[in-house]
A and B are shown apart, each in its own frame.
Chain A
Amino acid sequence: MNELEISRRGIKWMMALLVAAISTFTNGAAQSQEATARPTATEIMEKSNRAFYYQGNDMKVDVTMDLLTADRKKQSRVLTMLRRNESLGGNQKYFLYFHEPADVRRITFMVWKYPEKEDDRWIYVPAVDLVRRIAASDARSSFVGSDFTYEDISGRDVGLDTHQLLTEDKVGDRDCYVVESVPKESIGYVKRISWVDKTTFLPLKEEYYDLQKELVRMFSADKIEEVTIGEGDERKTVPTVTRRTMKNIKTGHRTEVTFTSVSYNIGLGDNIFTERYLRRPPKEAMR
């Protein structure tokens, strides 16, 4: 090996190092640029889904649903809802205990929700001590006669729609992403436009368009409260939609939902979501 050979090698090495350094630097710059850039529409909707349906490991809430006809005739449903996440963005279990009205009082309702397949649903009718499995293939069915569908209550898998970021907009004083979601399979509506808060990722407004491409339903988050989770250093607050409305534009029928006594991470066991507690609800739900 002569001197020339050595110096050539040295240059090669230096070149290689330089290239590596530059590429590392530019990559890093690209990455950091990406971090401040807009997330994709799908990322927004995934974050929104988690912020809206998956907060905490579990949740307990008292729910009042007021069903109002166009001529302001009112009916009310009052229930306690327990929810437990099996995994973030994945399977969930729901337990509903009805307090009002009389014809559904003390009925319990349990849902095992899977993003990738049909839910399993059970209902228990205490007057006849009957546990029934519910054949529910239509997630777009109305939930207890309200303007909300089952899917609105427990969430729609983000992968079922194609999402496109349309623009940015404000709802009140909140900056929002505006995302159009088109169902991949034909269902009751052709598209949904969501106004997703840029900071909290909660949906502040949604519009549903029917097969005639006319606005048919409109969702609004009317009140958002900070709910505290955990203690000490673990303590954080979770923005939670505590009042929401779904309005059917065509019929004028609307449903106003109020959440009270929201609590997260109360330590609901998996055993709560079984036939045992369906037949005799846990105290958490009945009181």
Chain B
Amino acid sequence: MIRPGTIRAWLVIWIAAVATAPVAGGISDEKTDGSFSSKLPIETHGFYEIRGGYRLQNDKYEKDTSILENRLQLDLSSYQDWGDLKFKGDFIGDLVEEEGDFDLREANVFARPADYMDVKVGRQILTWGTGDLIFINDLFPKDWESFFIGRDSEYLKAPSDAAKISLFGDWANLDIAFTPQFDPDRFITGRRISYWNSNLGRTAGQDAIVHTDKPNDWFGDSEVAARIYKNIDNYELALYGYQGYWKSPGGQNAAMTQATFPDLNVYGASLRGAVVKGIGNLEAGYYESVDDRSGKDPLVNNSEMRYLAGYTQEIARDFTVGLQYYVEYMLDFGAYKSNLPSGPARDRDRHVTTLRLTKLLMNQNLRCSLFTYYCPSDEDVYMRPNVNYNVSDNLAVEAGGNIFFGDYPNTFFGQFRDNTNVYLGLRYSF
């Protein structure tokens, strides 16, 4: 997941920063004599969670237990006059993989050096764009494995090691996120989730873990993402640019032994605002697959256009419905088809509709939600039901599922049909 060396380096940086901060250190609960705003330099929070899940059917290539883990998250923040320090990490006892792990979620420094500038440097979670669980111009890393095995949905966003500089002006605002060393998605490797392996022409899992050749040089293999945005009469308009790599494998090497992350540029735009009684959003992106501009190389993804339209409305009290329509349109489809070595060709377009239903009950302590992806072109479905109940301010229980249907073993969601799982979780926050 992350190299221990990196963790140590981050810890040292963070501790050094806190120690040299002009206020005395000391871990303390933020609650002091009835006032919630801490006078002490470090706020400590976090949670302890246990989570277990099970596959509802046999999967030849994976364990029956889809998830079984203890997780302790420590979240330390320190607010100084010159800026803020943040450290958030998860200690995980993973009983499926039978190992302990540490996942550093955040370790960063934030400062506001000028009226017109914000800077955040270090490990951080980055998000932009208008989609709901659909990402076009958000090319920050995702953790699809966590998403599919039933971890909390916050884990879909994997951290970036980046510097984000934000500039604010009257005319528009600009964000630039520079990631000196490529941060790929935590994609499906076969370790926890079985998948369609096109080289083998069958479903595979732990018997065929995806090996990758990842761009790995500091500064040589960097990513830059930028966003210019402006609020015009409360319609939020944004333009995006990205230069980097396909975030999940987008090709293979010539020997077809390793998955690769070919060069990718993305240019896009989005618009979001009030429409009728709800919120509407439009987003589009041009994915320029730089290593295969002609579309003839069967080992590299073709360029694509991606479009999204969405609408959300609270249709009854505490009941919200969100709809999205998303299209991936492959460019140079003719070149793709005529150069396809063997096996079934994909369709030129991939259409996905999503529906989110959320209902709050019992003074909003009970949240029932269902998010469904339905892809009419691939004829597959992915459903994410979830029920979350706050027993108290500190204790929450949760049950949910990841349900895949599909007629074909090689479609985007259909390939995961043997991974259909249900899970239970219990979280104590402090």
Residues of A within 8 A of B (CB): 62, 64, 67, 75-76, 78, 80, 99-103, 105, 112, 118, 120, 127-131, 133-138, 140-142, 144-146, 188, 253, 260, 271, 274-276, 280, 283, 286-287
Q: How far is the CA of A73 from the CA of B40 in the complex (A)?
A: 30
Measured CB to CB, the closest approach of chain B to A131, in angstroms, equals: 8
Measured CB to CB, the closest approach of chain B to A121, in angstroms, equals: 9
A-B contacts, 11 of them at CB < 8 A, read: A75-B392, A80-B37, A99-B36, A101-B429, A102-B47, A103-B396, A131-B127, A141-B314, A146-B363, A275-B231, A286-B37
Given contacts A145-B363, A280-B118, contact A135 B314 (CB under 8 A): yes
Within B39-72, the residues touching A (CB, 8 Å) are 45, 47
B320 within 8 A of partner (CB): yes
Residue interface bits B265-277, CB-to-A below 8 A is 1, else 0: 0000000111001
A138–B393 contact, CB under 8 A?
no
Within B122-156, the residues touching A (CB, 8 Å) are 124-128, 153-154, 156
Measured CB to CB, the closest approach of chain B to A210, in angstroms, equals: 14
B364–A62 contact, CB under 8 A?
no
Which A residues are in CB contact (< 8 Å) with B37?
62, 80, 99, 286-287
What are the 4 A-B residue pairs with the smallest beta carbon separation, nearest first?
Answer: A102-B429, A145-B364, A101-B393, A135-B278
With a 10 A CB-CB cut-off, give which of B36, B157, B365 has the most chain A CB atoms.
Answer: B36
A144–B320 contact, CB under 8 A?
no
Identify 13 new A-B residue pairs, CB closer than 8 A, beyond the known A129-B126, A138-B316.
Answer: A78-B36, A100-B393, A102-B394, A103-B390, A128-B153, A130-B127, A133-B236, A133-B281, A135-B278, A140-B317, A142-B363, A145-B360, A276-B173
A120–B234 contact, CB under 8 A?
yes
B197 within 8 A of partner (CB): no
B314–A136 contact, CB under 8 A?
yes
Given contacts A136-B314, A276-B118, contact A129 B363 (CB under 8 A): no
Residue interface bits B387-430, CB-to-A below 8 A is 1, else 0: 00010111010000000000000000000000000000000011
B320–A135 contact, CB under 8 A?
yes
Q: How far is the CA of A195 from the CA of B156 in the complex (A)?
A: 51
Nearest chain B residue, comparing its CB with the CB of A145: B364
A133–B318 contact, CB under 8 A?
no
B14 within 8 A of partner (CB): no
Name A137's contact: one of B45, B278, B394, B429 (CB within 8 Å).
Answer: B278
B222 within 8 A of partner (CB): no
B36–A62 contact, CB under 8 A?
yes
Which A residues are in CB contact (< 8 Å) with B157?
128-129
Which B residues are in CB contact (< 8 Å) with A101?
393-394, 429
Q: How far is the CA of A134 from the CA of B364 in the complex (A)?
A: 16
A128–B125 contact, CB under 8 A?
yes
With a 10 A CB-CB cut-off, give which of B127, B312, B317, B393 has the most chain A CB atoms.
Answer: B393
A105–B45 contact, CB under 8 A?
yes
Q: How far is the CA of A210 from the CA of B37 in the complex (A)?
A: 39
Given contacts A102-B430, A141-B317, A276-B166, contact A135 B312 (CB under 8 A): yes
Which A residues are in CB contact (< 8 Å) with B396?
103
With a 10 A CB-CB cut-off, give which of A133, A138, A142 has the most chain B CB atoms.
Answer: A133
Q: How far is the CA of A276 from the CA of B227 in the complex (A)?
A: 13
Nearest chain B residue, comparing its CB with the CB of A101: B393
B318–A112 contact, CB under 8 A?
no
Given contacts A127-B154, A141-B318, A286-B37, contact A112 B234 (CB under 8 A): yes
B168 within 8 A of partner (CB): yes
B124–A102 contact, CB under 8 A?
no
A286–B79 contact, CB under 8 A?
yes
Which B residues are in CB contact (< 8 Å) with A134?
279
Name B45's contact: one of A75, A80, A102, A286 (CB within 8 Å).
Answer: A102
Which A residues are in CB contact (< 8 Å) with B127?
128-131
B261 within 8 A of partner (CB): no
Name B363's contact: one of A137, A253, A276, A286 (CB within 8 Å).
Answer: A253
Q: How far is the CA of A275 from the CA of B238 in the complex (A)?
A: 13
Q: How far is the CA of A75 from the CA of B362 in the complex (A)?
A: 13
A138–B364 contact, CB under 8 A?
no
A135–B364 contact, CB under 8 A?
no
B286 within 8 A of partner (CB): no
B243 within 8 A of partner (CB): no
B79–A287 contact, CB under 8 A?
yes
Measured CB to CB, the closest approach of chain A to B320, in angstroms, equals: 6
Q: How far is the CA of A128 from the CA of B124 in the complex (A)?
A: 9
Q: How far is the CA of A103 from the CA of B365 in the complex (A)?
A: 11
Which A residues are in CB contact (< 8 Å) with B38?
287
Q: How far is the CA of A99 from the CA of B37 in the complex (A)?
A: 8
Within B218-277, the residues touching A (CB, 8 Å) are 229, 231, 234, 236, 272-274, 277
Name A129's contact: one of B36, B125, B365 (CB within 8 Å).
Answer: B125
Q: How far is the CA of A99 from the CA of B45 in the complex (A)?
A: 11
Measured CB to CB, the closest approach of chain B to A104, in angstroms, equals: 10
